Amino acid sequence: MHFKIKYKDKNARLGELITAHSSFQTPAFMPVGTAAAVKSLDANDLSKLLDAKIILANTYHLFLRPGAEVIKRLGGLHSFTGFKGSFLTDSGGFQAFSLSKNSKPSEEGIAFKSHIDGSLHLFTPKSVLDTQYALNSDLMMILDDLIALPAKKDRIDLSVKRTIKWAKQSIKYHKERQKEGIGLTQNIFAIIQGGTDYEARRLCANELAGLGFDGLAIGGLSVGEENQAMYDTVEALMPFMPENRPRYLMGVGSPEDLVENVERGVDLFDCVMPTRNARNGTLFTKEGRLNIKRAEFIGKDDPIELNCECYTCKHYSKGYLNHLFRAKELSFFRLASLHNLHYYLSIMKSMQVAIKEGKFSEFKRDFYHKRSS
Ligand SMILES: [Zn+2]
């Protein structure tokens, strides 16, 4: 992996990230392909219609179904899905924690019951990397000990201690595997935990920054805390994250969250919001959110957003999309997802241009102004 910061506007960064499968500019947003599919879209939609260079797939889901070995036999994620850009895979820890009723973290790893058939499994720092070697993702996340917020101080401290311990085991294991010729083109990111406790977060960031990971992520945010608490935590952490490595804020967020965190120096994002909202009929526009199912859109012949360059806006009216939603037509999911992802990817491109031109604060003012007018 090659990563270089090309321009800075205060703390906002325009970078270039090159993996074995794609090269792209940051700040970047990664559409979420939970089960090796961005819901309702295929590889052609992602590459040709959206020009997405990197997407995310969830290790937990793929581990349980169809199984990492099945994907490996079919050539890894790129060959399996037909998407030739980059993949980031998470460790699976978050879903083991959030989807399983009986998830139990211990010093060894996270034991959990499958949400599909109730079978018992254990994710360890080594096992989640083995799964990701089989998937052949470009960016791999290590196992971390995440906690729900708010959390008590002693649980936060334990989470940080365990996360650092697992990070040391993970990087050691990754180096050993690479010596054996496994995962040579794969990169490894560690995850900073610590809730909204700045001291715990800084301690975690400091320790992880010295371990030689290819990038650092901020995990355990956007799990119920106030937006401002998230922004403040990110801001407090930035001086402790290596300048020359990508910074990834996991699972965040709304368009406003993207703008606020790019301003603070974040490079990578992922979130289900654009696709999940699309399926519920909520569409993002420069003026804010629009609910396409409302009666006011029946028979309207203008697109979701004038001047939107997306496939959906170029071909279809609000009236047609309103009809598809109300008639429960499956094509609605695809067309709405294309628009929302195009909107997200366009914001990232606009921010890249603004950073390059040294006009990020003007961009931000304009972004909020259009929403309030
Ligand atoms: Zn559009």
Three-state SS at 70: helix
Task: State how far the Cα of 310 lies from the Cα of 129, in Å rounded to an integer.
Answer: 37
What pLDDT does 372 receive? 87
Cα–ligand 1 centroid distance for 287 (angstroms) = 13
Cα–ligand 1 centroid distance for 338 (angstroms) = 7
Give the tens place of pLDDT for each residue, 259-284: 999 999 999 999 999 999 999 999 99
Q: Report, as an integer, the average pLDDT of 184-198.
A: 95
Cα–ligand 1 centroid distance for 65 (angstroms) = 33
Residue 250 in contact with residue 36, Cβ under 8 Å? no
Task: State how far the Cα of 123 lies from the Cα of 111, in Å rounded to an integer.
Answer: 6
What pLDDT does 249 receive? 98
What pLDDT does 100 receive? 74
Task: State how far the Cα of 147 lies from the Cα of 62, in Å rounded to an integer.
Answer: 23
E strand spans, 62-137: 86-89, 104-105, 110-113, 120-123
Cα–ligand 1 centroid distance for 308 (angstroms) = 5
Residue 373 binned pLDDT confidence (cut-offs 50, 70, 90): confident
Task: State how far the Cα of 141 lies from the Cα of 128, in Å rounded to an integer.
Answer: 9
Residue 149 in contact with residue 112, Cβ under 8 Å? no
Task: State how far the Cα of 301 lies from the Cα of 350, in Å rounded to an integer.
Answer: 28
Give the tens place of pLDDT for each residue, 203-222: 999 999 999 999 999 998 87
Instruction: Report phi then psi at 89, rounded to 5.
Output: -115, 140
Cα–ligand 1 centroid distance for 341 (angstroms) = 9
Cα–ligand 1 centroid distance for 343 (angstroms) = 7
pLDDT at 83 over 90: yes
pLDDT at 117 over 90: yes
What pLDDT does 222 receive? 78
DSSP code string of 72-84: HHTTHHHHHH---
Residue 53 in contact with residue 78, Cβ under 8 Å? no
Per-residue H/E/C for 166-181:
HHHHHHHHHHHHHHCC
What pLDDT does 289 receive? 97
Which residues are paired to 288 by β-bridges?
Answer: 285
Residue 59 in contact with residue 96, Cβ under 8 Å? no
Give the tens place of pLDDT for each residue, 10-32: 999 999 999 999 999 999 999 99
Identify which of 93, 91, 10, 81 has the alpha carbon closest to the alpha carbon of residue 46. Answer: 81
Cα–ligand 1 centroid distance for 54 (angstroms) = 20
pLDDT at 102 over 90: no
Residues marked as catalytic: 90, 270
The model's pTM: 0.97
- CA–CA distance from 361 to each of 10, 149, 158, 191, 228 (Å)? 9, 31, 39, 29, 18
State the amino acid at position 202 in one-letter form.
R
Cα–ligand 1 centroid distance for 346 (angstroms) = 10
What pLDDT does 225 receive? 76
Q: Report, as an integer, the average pLDDT of 36-43.
A: 98
Identify which of 155, 229, 242 has the alpha carbon closest to the alpha carbon of residue 198. Answer: 229
Give the tens place of pLDDT for each residue, 125-176: 999 999 999 999 999 999 999 888 888 999 999 999 999 999 999 999 999 9
Residues 6+ apart with CB under 8 A from 76: 134, 135, 136
Instruction: Report phi then psi at 269, rounded to 5.
Output: -140, 155
Cα–ligand 1 centroid distance for 246 (angstroms) = 29
Cα–ligand 1 centroid distance for 191 (angstroms) = 34
